[in-house]
């Protein structure tokens, strides 16, 4: 037997109390690890979403940059337009490798969901768009047959939601015509999965937006300095230049403020749990006043009693922490759903990314705090005198 096994046996004495204390730590460790994992995963997924866009710069009509940012990734209302003739001007610049014009259109669909919802169409150019999105694969069918065809291509999730297959005719909200589903894309894990694609001309004609665009995607040639070119684009009248780096920063700064609040909540939960441990250990020290006095009389040095009580604290903290980490892994799926529900904008893919170094640092943080908190009860115990045991009448 040694101090460690003695400490372990001491914890077993009050199994229920130890279990509750461990559960408290586990719960807060779970919250902490999940939130830290979210910290990482969110940015990672966002980066991937942005890399998958196929273009580094998007030109939109002048407007609120936040609006433009969300619009690009999610689609939204209050769209602004720019003239189509801009395309030639931009495409002729020597830095540009390729451009693709897009027209986004949003319609309110009263039959969508319980209370209706917004349906977003993306008019794309059948020539240039597929080249930008070279990683798109069709589950079935193909891109449009002609620039003005009354055809649509559905993203994977859009097809699932609408329950459509190739060859189906669809009456789209906001139009009186039926459209033929010519293609369904495979899952990409990006926002494109939920998209309804139509030929650019068709969107312009059906929704009366002739010669207008909402966005122009620009891919630069290799080795071109993006920020220098952005400056150049700003010379154009009434346009807004949104670079992917910028979008990312905008979204991240939006999320960051929420993150601070959430992390403070986690920190508070964690502190409460540590106080729980402290309380438990302190209580058990008072309960064992006599016993500790007896240990002193049979030869325990103050530092050995200190070590014993400290080990008890550390065992509680690290035990709870391990349990919490196991929870984090086991319930990552549920936590992810919960976060998606509360978040204004969530990229596709894994939101919670649990890496070994994150787990390790969470473990270290919790155990170290526990160790710090454990000093007080351990000191109390170390100073109990053998006489206290013998004299007390309890």
**Which of 392, 198, 179, 388 lies closest to 292, judged by CA?**
388
Query: Could you say whether residue 134 binds another protein (CB under 8 A)?
Result: no
Query: Could you say whether residue 387 binds another protein (CB under 8 A)?
Result: yes
Among 142, 297, 355, 361, binds another protein (CB under 8 A): 297
Q: Tell me, residue by residue from 240 to 279, as one string, x for binding to another protein by CB under 8 A and - for no binding.
A: ----------------------------------------
- What's the half-sphere exposure (Cβ side, CA atoms, 13 Å) at 387? 1
As a whole number of angstroms, the distance between CA 113 and CA 118 comes to: 10
Among 2, 115, 210, 222, binds another protein (CB under 8 A): 2
In the complex, least distance from residue 20 CB atom to another protein, rounded to whole angstroms: 19
Helix, strand, coil share of the chain (percent; to 5):
55, 15, 25
In the complex, least distance from residue 315 CB atom to another protein, rounded to whole angstroms: 14
Query: Could you say whether residue 379 binds another protein (CB under 8 A)?
Result: no
In the complex, least distance from residue 306 CB atom to another protein, rounded to whole angstroms: 12
Hey, which residues between 3 and 42 contact another protein (CB under 8 A)? 3, 6, 9-10, 12-13
Query: Could you say whether residue 378 binds another protein (CB under 8 A)?
Result: no
In the complex, least distance from residue 326 CB atom to another protein, rounded to whole angstroms: 26
In the complex, least distance from residue 12 CB atom to another protein, rounded to whole angstroms: 6
Query: Could you say whether residue 287 binds another protein (CB under 8 A)?
Result: no
In the complex, least distance from residue 276 CB atom to another protein, rounded to whole angstroms: 22
Contacts 24+ apart (CB under 8 A), 219-228: 219/54, 219/55, 219/56, 219/96, 219/97, 219/98, 219/99, 219/132, 220/56, 220/57, 220/95, 220/96, 220/97, 221/94, 221/95, 221/96, 221/97, 222/97, 224/95, 226/56, 226/57
**Which of 24, 2, 30 lies closest to 327, judged by CA?**
30
Residue 85 has which token pair? 């003739």
Question: Where does this chain bind another protein (CB under 8 A)?
Answer: 1-3, 6, 9-10, 12-13, 290-291, 294-302, 304, 386-387, 389-390
């Amino acid at each position: 037997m040694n101090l460690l096994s003695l400490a372990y046996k001491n914890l077993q004495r009050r199994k229920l109390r130890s279990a509750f204390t461990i559960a408290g730590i586990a719960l807060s460790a779970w919250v902490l690890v999940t939130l830290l994992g979210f910290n990482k995963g969110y940015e990672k997924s966002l980066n991937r979403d942005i890399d998958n866009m196929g273009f580094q710069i998007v030109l939109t009509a002048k407007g609120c940059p936040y609006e433009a940012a969300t619009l690009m990734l999610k689609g939204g209302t209050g769209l602004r337009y720019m003239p189509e003739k801009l395309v030639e001007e931009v495409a002729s610049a020597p830095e540009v490798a390729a451009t693709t014009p897009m027209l986004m259109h949003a319609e309110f669909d009263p039959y969508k969901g319980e209370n209706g919802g917004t349906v977003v169409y993306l008019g794309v150019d059948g020539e240039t768009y597929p080249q930008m999105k070279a990683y798109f694969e069709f589950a079935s069918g193909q891109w449009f047959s002609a620039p003005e065809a009354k055809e649509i291509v559905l993203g994977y999730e859009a097809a699932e939601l609408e329950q459509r297959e190739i060859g189906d005719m669809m009456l789209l909200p906001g139009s009186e015509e039926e459209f033929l589903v010519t293609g369904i894309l495979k899952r990409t894990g990006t926002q494109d999965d939920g998209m309804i694609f139509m030929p650019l001309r068709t969107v312009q004609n059906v929704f009366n937006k002739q010669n207008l665009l909402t966005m122009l995607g620009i891919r630069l040639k290799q080795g071109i300095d993006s920020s220098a070119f952005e400056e150049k684009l700003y010379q154009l009248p009434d346009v807004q230049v949104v670079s992917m780096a910028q979008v990312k920063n905008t979204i991240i700064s939006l999320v960051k403020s929420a993150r601070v609040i959430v992390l403070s909540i986690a920190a508070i939960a964690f502190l409460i749990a540590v106080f729980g441990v402290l309380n438990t250990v302190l209580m058990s020290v008072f309960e064992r006043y006599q016993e500790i006095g007896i240990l002193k009389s049979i030869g325990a040095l103050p530092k050995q009693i200190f070590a014993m009580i400290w080990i008890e604290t550390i065992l509680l903290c690290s035990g709870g922490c391990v349990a919490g980490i196991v929870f984090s892994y086991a319930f990552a799926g549920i936590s992810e759903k919960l976060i998606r529900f509360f978040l204004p904008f969530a990229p596709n893919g894994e939101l919670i990314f649990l890496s070994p170094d994150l787990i390790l640092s969470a473990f270290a943080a919790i155990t170290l705090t526990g160790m710090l908190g454990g000093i007080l009860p351990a000191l109390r115990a170390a100073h109990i005198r053998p006489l206290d045991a013998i004299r007390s009448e309890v």
